[in-house]
RNA sequence: GCGGGAGUAGCUCAGCUGGUUAGAGCGCCAGGUUGUGGCCCUGGAGGCCGUGGGUUCGAGUCCCAUUUCUCGCCCCA
């Protein structure tokens, strides 16, 4: 154990060869859904100006107040490792004036996210998210499209038992009214609420709604509902989003207490939860952020998006016993005995690969028996055996690893013949 | 930031109330055919028992600290 002098930093993980095919598969499913829905990939830097996140996420959110990886570079600039995916995309959208090419931009990303948190099941200091952002449309149909892509993606992975929760958090027109009425109705019990709720009361009253402390839940159970306070526009928007979800056959639960941890959300907010995840039940979350682009210096531009954690997605798949497609193995394993055969083996390797046949050989100087064992373990369909005898006859021997059937092929055309063997298997 | 559990070979773990050279299974390597895999047999490599300090004639085993992992709170993906 202590041979390892260095270990990966707390809350980070290596994705080893045994796991990486699963990641590739999940990412491929996501990319395929983005292709179908016509979202285009965007890649942004790992770090940004600190102010970008502080302003967009909200100064008094947990993320900004205590979870950001912030550092000063050699010229004194304050930079922060991306703690969420939306702000950098919006920044790039504005910086490169992507709006000028198309009024509605549909973008997706696959990236790592950094938050200084105490690690636990499904929570890391560096985790990975897939996500999409649809910028430039206020149409409720696109809220539904965003949700639909997310659900399609998760179900394409073979995940069941998901619950979509949806709510509207209103807009700058109606939210202040609700906030006041919420504070008014909570005021009599203020002293009985938990400590963090008492802080939220002034800083961010809406967050009191999703407090998990049982006592707070009881005290706020009869509090007015956000949905009753929505302005006509927000109310109509929500109704329309739900209508489109019904149209798409997507099941949801209307949850008036659903509130998200970023300040920039307006109107639609949603979360997909799985019971397989333990304490961290959210696997996908997002919503509409109609004020963010303007807040960051652009024109008034409506937008919607979501982010979804890859680690949590994989954890659900693991818990449900989802079968991943088998990992890729070499098709051909070359076994050589001695120096001259070895040179011929190297030559054959090159030719096979030039013909797009995956091929491998032993580089550990093993005995023939051991090389055969390696061939077996590599799950190669065919072993090619080259020794002095074969070379003297100007040929190579092949062995079908399933049937044990062996045959010989003259050397100049051997690569082509082996390719045909594989393709007709 | 706060709380619970844990830290012994690459992996999963056993080591009873402190006592001599620290074990198993799996994996890995080699041999059992002079050039042939999956099963079987034999052998081998690999651990200052997370780290530092203390108690003791003596500590993997007790005490303290520290660190990492893990689970939960907060919050989120």
Rounded CA-CA distance A88/A93 in Å is 8
Structural tokens at position A12: 């980070």
Q: How far apart are CA A84 and CA A344, in angstroms?
A: 53
Q: Positive or negative CA dihedral for A107, A110, A114, A118?
A: positive
Cα three-residue angle A260-A262-A268, rounded to 5 degrees? 50
Please give the pLDDT value at position A82. Answer: 96
Distance A6 CA to B48 C1' (A): 19
C-beta neighbour count of A215 within 10 angstroms: 13
CA→C1' distance for A295 and B58 (Å): 71
Specify the pLDDT at position A2. 39
Q: Is A400 helix (H, G, I), strand (E, B) or coil?
A: strand
Residue nearest to nucleotide B50 (CA to C1'): A2
CA of A372 to C1' of B46 (A): 25
On whether the CB atoms of residues A82 and A47 are closer than 8 A, the answer is yes
Identify the pLDDT of residue A1: 36
Residue located via tokens 């373990």: A377
Max intra-chain CA distance, chain A: 97
In tens digits, what is the pLDDT along chain A, a chain of 425 residues?
A: 334 567 888 899 889 888 889 999 999 999 999 999 999 999 999 999 999 999 998 887 888 888 999 999 999 999 999 999 999 999 999 999 999 988 999 999 999 999 998 888 889 999 999 999 999 999 999 999 999 999 999 999 999 889 999 999 999 999 889 988 888 888 888 777 777 777 778 777 888 887 777 677 777 777 888 889 999 999 999 999 999 999 999 999 999 888 887 888 999 999 999 988 777 789 999 999 999 999 999 999 999 999 999 999 999 998 888 888 777 777 899 999 989 999 999 999 999 999 999 999 998 889 999 999 999 998 899 999 999 999 999 999 999 998 999 999 998 899 999 999 887 65
CB A63, CB A83: distance < 8 Å: yes
Distance CA A41, CA A53 (A): 21
- Residue A373 (CA) to nucleotide B27 (C1'), in angstroms, measures 14
**Contact predicate A107/A132, CB 8 Å:** yes
With 0-12 CB in 10 A as exposed, 13-18 as middle and 19+ as buried, what is A248? middle
Nucleotide showing the shortest C1' distance to residue A284 CA:
B77
Q: Which residue's alpha carbon is at the shortest distance from the C1' of B7?
A: A1
The per-residue pLDDT for range A161-176, each reduced to its tens digit, is 899 999 999 999 998 8
Residue nearest to nucleotide B38 (CA to C1'): A376
Q: What is the pTM of this model?
A: 0.91
Q: A146: helix, coil or strand?
A: helix
A339 Cβ contact list (under 8 Å, min separation 6): none
If we measure between CA atoms, which residue out of A403, A410, A356, A411 comes closest to residue A382?
A403
Find the Å distance, CA of residue A209 to C1' of nucleotide B59: 54
A117: nt with nearest C1' to CA: B75
Q: B66 C1' – A81 CA distance, angstroms?
A: 29
Å: A363 CA to B30 C1': 17
Nucleotides on chain B within 7 angstroms of protein Cβ: 1-3, 7-11, 28-32, 35-38, 47-48, 50-51, 68-77
pLDDT digits (tens, 9 = 90+) for A279-309: 778 999 999 999 999 999 999 999 999 999 9
**Residue A9, nucleotide of least CA–C1' distance:** B68
Nearest nt (C1') to A260 (CA)? B76
Q: Which tokens sit at A360?
A: 């491998």
* DSSP string over A189-242: GGGGS-HHHHHHHHH-GGGGGG---HHHHHHTTTSPPHHHH--HHHHHHHHHHH
DSSP helix/strand/coil, A148: helix
Q: Nearest nt (C1') to A128 (CA)?
A: B77
- Measuring from the CA of residue A262 to each C1', which nucleotide is nearest? B76
**What are the DSSP calls for A289-334, one per residue?**
-TTHHHHTTS----EEEEEEEHHHHHHHHHHHTPPPPPPP--SEEE
Residue A153 Ramachandran class (φ > 0 left, ψ -120 to 50 alpha, else beta): alpha
| Beta carbons of A163 and A253 less than 8 angstroms apart | yes
């Amino acid at each position: 154990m202590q041979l390892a002098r260095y270990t990966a930093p707390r809350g980070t993980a290596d994705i080893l060869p045994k796991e990486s095919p699963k990641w590739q598969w999940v990412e491929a499913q996501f990319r395929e859904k983005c292709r179908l829905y016509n979202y285009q990939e965007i890649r942004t830097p790992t770090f940004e100006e600190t102010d970008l996140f502080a302003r967009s996420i909200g100064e008094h959110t947990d993320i900004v107040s205590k979870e950001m990886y912030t550092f000063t570079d050699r010229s004194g600039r304050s930079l922060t490792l991306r703690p969420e995916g939306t702000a950098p995309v919006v920044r790039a959208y504005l910086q490169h004036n992507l709006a000028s090419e198309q009024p509605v931009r549909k973008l997706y990303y696959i990236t790592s996210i950094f938050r200084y948190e105490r690690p636990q099941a499904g929570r890391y200091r560096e985790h990975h998210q897939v996500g999409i952002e649809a910028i430039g449309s206020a149409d409720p149909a696109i809220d539904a499209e965003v949700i639909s892509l997310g659900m399609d993606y998760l179900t394409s992975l073979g995940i069941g038992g998901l619950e979509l929760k949806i709510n509207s958090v209103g807009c700058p027109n109606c939210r202040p009214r609700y906030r006041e009425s919420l504070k008014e109705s909570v005021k009599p019990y203020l002293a009985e609420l938990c400590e963090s709720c008492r802080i939220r009361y002034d800083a961010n009253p809406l967050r009191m709604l999703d407090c998990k402390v049982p006592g707070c839940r009881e005290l706020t159970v009869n509090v007015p509902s956000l949905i009753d306070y929505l302005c006509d526009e927000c109310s109509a928007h929500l109704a329309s989003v739900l209508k489109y979800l019904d149209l798409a056959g997507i099941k949801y639960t209307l949850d008036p207490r659903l509130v998200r941890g970023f300040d920039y959300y307006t109107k639609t907010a949603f979360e997909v939860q799985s019971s397989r995840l333990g304490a961290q039940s959210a696997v996908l979350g997002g919503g509409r952020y109609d004020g963010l682009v303007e807040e960051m210096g652009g024109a008034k531009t409506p937008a919607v998006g979501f982010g979804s954690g890859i680690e949590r997605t994989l954890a659900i798949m693991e818990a449900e016993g989802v079968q991943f497609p088998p990992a890729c193995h070499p098709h051909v394993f070359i076994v050589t005995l001695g120096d001259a055969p070895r040179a011929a083996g190297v030559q054959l390797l090159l030719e096979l690969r030039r013909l797009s046949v995956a091929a491998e050989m032993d580089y550990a100087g093993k005995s023939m028996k051991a090389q055969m064992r390696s061939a077996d373990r590599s799950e190669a369909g065919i072993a090619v055996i080259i020794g002095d005898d074969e070379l003297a006859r100007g040929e190579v021997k092949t062995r079908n690893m399933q049937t044990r059937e062996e045959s010989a092929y003259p050397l100049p055309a051997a690569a082509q013949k082996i390719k045909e063997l594989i393709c007709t298997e």
